[in-house]
């Protein structure tokens, strides 16, 4: 899904984030272009699913290399579910991924601002919206229209996806998980203010299989 620059044009003048606002200025040049970033994630997931992940991952070296600045090559918007850590399922290291996680992989204003920051100041050009099999947040939204406390906000924001697939054939939870990923990706495409970086940014959708460990990138 290529980001739609027409949706972003209005943001050109509004993008005034400065590096100093976050304590560090960075060149906005892409670290890795979107296609290469996607290939790196796919290769990493292959290592993970084939049990070829090194047990001696050089985290100390990566910590030293990134201590004074970060240049993540991809942004991952994932679920807070403890079984879906992007650094693990994509076999990446410290400083590689800029990760935003909420139950149900939703994006609010804070998440959207984080995405914009990572594109503008850290050079990331690939945004992955990562849903997962048997997501508890989506399951809650399938089961009820509301929930107590702030979980109610999560259910409220996932319900449109559940309603959209109510007449689809197949498993309602599977369909709602896919639909929710689609809608979150669409929201990022429509609302993220990426200015002149927009044409080089790609938003892709993916679903993680808890059983096999495989990340399936959706068309």
**Could you list the residues that contact Zn ion (CB under 5 A)?**
79, 81, 135, 137
**Which residues are paired to 78 by β-bridges?**
101, 130
Residue 34 or 161: the one with the smaller Cβ distance to Zn ion is 161
Min CB(84)–Zn ion separation in Å: 7
Angle at 160 between CA 155 and CA 163, to 5 degrees: 105
Min CB(178)–Zn ion separation in Å: 13
Tell me the backbone φ, ψ of residue 68, rounded to 5 degrees: -100, 0
Cα–Cα distance measured from residue 169 to residue 23, given in angstroms and rounded to the nearest whole number: 50
Residue 81 or 157: the one with the smaller Cβ distance to Zn ion is 81
Cβ proximity of 79 and 103 under 8 Å? yes
Residue 79 or 192: the one with the smaller Cβ distance to Zn ion is 79
Cβ proximity of 31 and 195 under 8 Å? no
- Of 104, 127, 130, nearest to 203 by C-alpha is 127
Min CB(179)–Zn ion separation in Å: 14
DSSP H or E run through 100: strand 97-102
Residue 137 or 184: the one with the smaller Cβ distance to Zn ion is 137
**Which residues are paired to 2 by β-bridges?**
202
Residue 8 or 135: the one with the smaller Cβ distance to Zn ion is 135
Min CB(184)–Zn ion separation in Å: 12
Min CB(142)–Zn ion separation in Å: 12
């Amino acid at each position: 899904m290529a980001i739609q620059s027409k949706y972003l044009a209005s943001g050109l003048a509004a993008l005034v984030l400065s590096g100093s606002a976050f304590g560090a200025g960075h060149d906005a040049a892409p670290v890795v272009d979107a296609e290469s970033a996607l290939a790196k994630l796919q290769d990493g997931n292959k290592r993970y699913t084939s049990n070829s992940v090194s047990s001696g991952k050089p985290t100390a070296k990566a910590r030293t290399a990134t201590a004074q600045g970060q240049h993540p090559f991809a942004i991952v918007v994932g679920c807070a579910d403890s079984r879906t850590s992007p650094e693990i399922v994509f076999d990446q290291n410290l400083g590689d991924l800029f990760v935003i996680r909420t139950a149900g992989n939703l994006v609010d204003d804070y998440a959207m601002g984080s995405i914009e920051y990572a594109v503008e100041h850290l050079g990331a050009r690939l945004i992955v919206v990562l849903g997962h099999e048997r997501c508890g947040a989506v399951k809650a939204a399938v089961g009820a229209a509301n929930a107590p406390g702030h979980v109610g906000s999560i259910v409220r924001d996932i319900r449109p996806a559940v309603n959209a697939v109510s007449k689809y054939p197949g498993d309602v939870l599977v369909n709602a998980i896919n639909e929710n990923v689609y809608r979150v990706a669409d929201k990022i495409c429509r609302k993220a203010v990426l200015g002149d970086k927009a044409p080089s940014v790609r938003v892709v959708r993916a679903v993680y299989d808890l059983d096999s460990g495989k990340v399936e990138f959706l068309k």
